[in-house]
Amino acid sequence: MMTPRALQLAVLGTFVLSTGAFSRPPAASGVHAHRAVVPAVRPVVACAPTTVVAPALESECNFDHTPLQAALARGDLLEADQITRDALIKLGGEQAVVRDFVYFTEVKKLPYKDMATIDALWRAYTGDKQGYSVQSKLLRSARIGNDLIKLYERIGWCKPGGTLLRWTAGSGNEFIYDNEAAPAGHLPLTSTLRGTRLLTELMQHPAIVDASKTLK
């Protein structure tokens, strides 16, 4: 029997799933398409900082990180978010590509340098405001204390009252892709369709933890 706390997280996870993160909405129903359903009215995107020190695009497997850099450089955080999901699936290996999502057990196998590059790009082009390491540091902060519900509230994944934002074919995309308007740590998005372990494992990835220690 699930405890009230576990049930609450499970319900929250259902809503976060509709972001399309790691498992994208289908062509027919808006739940599992190859790419996330982009609403007819594209969410507002903000330009990247004027002066950016671009990080080295390091990879342990010759992965091409230039598409992510290009999207972030032009301030298209919606596209950058999708590219990030696609990248993690590809970096997760053949089985992840076949099933079109990453298991939480595969997160530790994601290449250190590639995860560091993805995070460094997000931080560089958003002025250290967005990225997995930003989320990780917030989650482990004294104020949040590894409480995912508090994290959702802090990074703007839920509305006042606790209802999580959605991204579905019917309701459109409620997330924020304007770096100035979005709370710190709002992006990238992560699905909790299969529980919250995927998110927590990403927050604990060595490259992300190490990067979080460099944040002020």
Note if the bond before 4 is cis, omega within 30 degrees. no
Q: Is residue 119 pLDDT above 70, yes or no?
A: yes
Question: What are the tens digits of pLDDT across the range 97-117?
Answer: 999 999 999 999 999 999 999
CA trace torsion 163, 134, 89, 34 (10° rounding): 40
22 closest CA partner among 61, 13, 165: 13
Q: State how far the Cα of 42 lies from the Cα of 66, in Å rounded to an integer.
A: 23
Local structure of residue 76 (DSSP, 8 states): -
**The overall pTM is greater than 0.85:** no
Q: What CATH architecture applies to the domain 41-212?
A: Orthogonal Bundle (1.10)
Mean pLDDT of the chain: 82
Question: What are the tens digits of pLDDT across the range 150-176?
Answer: 999 999 998 887 777 877 666 678 899
Residue type, 22: F
User: Burial level of 215, CB count in 10 A (0-12/13-18/19+)?
Assistant: middle
Q: Is residue 127 pLDDT above 70, yes or no?
A: yes
